[in-house]
Amino acid sequence: MTNQTVAEQEESKRIINSEEELSKKLYRLRKLNEEQAIEDERYQREIAESDEWYQPSKKKRANQIEYVEALIEDYYHRRLQENPYYRYKDRNGTVSKKTSTTYDYNDEELINSLPEELLKKTVNKVGLKKLFQSEKVDGRKKIITDNEGHPITEDGEIIKGVIAKEKTEVTIKTTK
């Protein structure tokens, strides 16, 4: 065979010239699709098997992580009682605190007790927060509240429709 004949045969394999060749290509396509379906099924089965293998160790490790974090938080809270500015940092990581204030609003009670400039159809909560009496504690602004958590305005008036809740979260960061 010459080079031209081989090239012509290669070219003829790239195009379909008869219904017989079409039938052969359809058969080939069907077999390829069947092989792909078998391979996909095996892949899904292997993924499920490895997931079954992986889940118990992942759950066990998650429980251990939770336990160690609880121990760290407990120690940090005890040290925080001694020193409100306590923070730990070394080459393995840091332990610190983050304090945030959340507000629970009772809109009906607020509408009845607030002046008109803070009311539209709803309560202007941003403007309301500016009225709260505050002080600097640990380098951040802290709202002054009564015993029940109701904020006190600069005029000394207690706002009954709002409850300020302060939450301290312990932040644990390990180095990579």
pLDDT of residue 164: 76
Highest mean pLDDT among 114-123, 128-137, 155-164: 155-164
Per-residue pLDDT at 116 exceeds 90: no
Least confident of 11-20, 26-35, 77-86: 11-20
End-to-end CA distance of the chain: 65
Query: Residue 148: CB partners within 8 Å, gap ≥ 6?
Result: 163
pLDDT of residue 94: 93
pLDDT of residue 126: 64
pLDDT of residue 76: 92
Q: Are 112 and 120 in contact (CB under 8 A)?
A: no
- The rounded radius of gyration (Å) of the Cα atoms in the chain is 35
Mean pLDDT computed over every residue of the chain: 80
Per-residue pLDDT at 7 exceeds 80: no
- 82/11: higher pLDDT: 82
Q: Are 104 and 151 in contact (CB under 8 A)?
A: no
- pLDDT, average across residues 67-81: 93
Q: How confident is the model at residue 109 (pLDDT cuts 50, 70, 90)?
A: confident
Q: How confident is the model at residue 151 (pLDDT cuts 50, 70, 90)?
A: confident
Residue 81 to residue 101: CA distance in whole angstroms: 20
- pLDDT, average across residues 62-89: 92
- The CA-atom distances, in angstroms, between 23 and each of 19, 20, 47 are 6, 5, 36
pLDDT of residue 11: 55
- The CA-atom distances, in angstroms, between 37 and each of 15, 44, 153, 157 are 26, 11, 70, 73
Residue of 102, 116, 111 whose CA lies nearest to 161: 111
- pLDDT, average across residues 71-76: 93
User: Tokens 């992580």 appear where?
Assistant: 65
- 118/130: higher pLDDT: 130
